Amino acid sequence: MISFTQKGDFSKLTRFLKKTKDVAHNSALEKYAQEGVEALSAATPVQSGETANSWYYEIERKKGAVSIAFCNSNIQNGVPIAVILQYGHGTRNGGWVQGRDYINPAIQPVFDKIAEAAWREVAGGK
């Protein structure tokens, strides 16, 4: 007859596995976030290049949820330039400069990759 006895718990192992899981998720999030910044930068209409070079991301973690925010730091006279390039803006003499939808087409492939990776994970890595 063979018997096994175990004392204690698996708290250290559990903590290690949770940290390992978080590191894997963090590196994937960082990867997709950086891809998004690169896609936005490449798609941004360029005059001086300042708006294209001003993209960055923020990853926010809340209880049970994670989000990636893509931001642009080029703000002139309180106006976010990336937004007026996207949606258009009025001019000083009463004219209108039509916006150009460059954000959505640039970022959609990154969102698709994130969704695909999440689905693979939910489906058991298939």
> Position of tokens 């250290």?
12
Q: Tell me what pLDDT residue 19 has.
A: 59
What are the boundaries of each domain within the chain? 15-122
Q: How far apart are CA 104 and CA 111, in angstroms?
A: 10
Task: Give the residue-averaged pLDDT of 37-53.
Answer: 93
Q: Tell me what pLDDT residue 23 has.
A: 47
The model's pLDDT over 69-121, given as tens digits with 9 standing for 90+, comes to: 999 999 999 999 999 999 999 999 999 999 999 999 999 999 999 888 878 87
Q: How far apart are CA 69 and CA 61, in angstroms?
A: 11
Q: Tell me what pLDDT residue 21 has.
A: 56
Residue spans of alpha helices (H) in 4-122: 11-43, 81-87, 103-122
Closest by Cα among 65, 62, 85, 61 to 75: 85
